[in-house]
Amino acid sequence: MGEMTDKAKAAGNKLAGSIKDGIGDLTGNERLQAEGKAQKAKGAAQDVSGTVKGKLGNDI
């Protein structure tokens, strides 16, 4: 995957994670909150991956 693909997936995961976390918070659903936080963390990791690929090139 290239830099832009990673960053696009990162944005999607961050958004979906934020929504899950927020709904979980509003409803008191701790499992949904945890899923949301995990998905946001996955998005953050994908964002870093995309940044690294951008700096080093997409061949890594």
In this predicted structure, what is the pLDDT of residue 1? 58
Q: Mean pLDDT over residues 37-48, rounded?
A: 95
Query: In which region does residue 6 sit, left (phi positive, over 0), alpha (psi from -120 to 50) or beta (all else)?
Result: alpha
20: left (phi over 0), alpha (psi -120 to 50) or beta: alpha
Higher-pLDDT residue of 57, 44 = 44
* Degrees to nearest 5, angle at CA 25 with 39 and 15: 35
Residue 12 has pLDDT above 80, yes or no: yes
pTM of the model: 0.82
Length of the chain: 60
In this structure, what DSSP letter does residue 50 have? H
- The fraction of the chain above a pLDDT of 70, given in percent, is 93
> What per-residue confidence (pLDDT) applies to 4?
87
Phi, psi of 57 (to 5 degrees): 105, 155
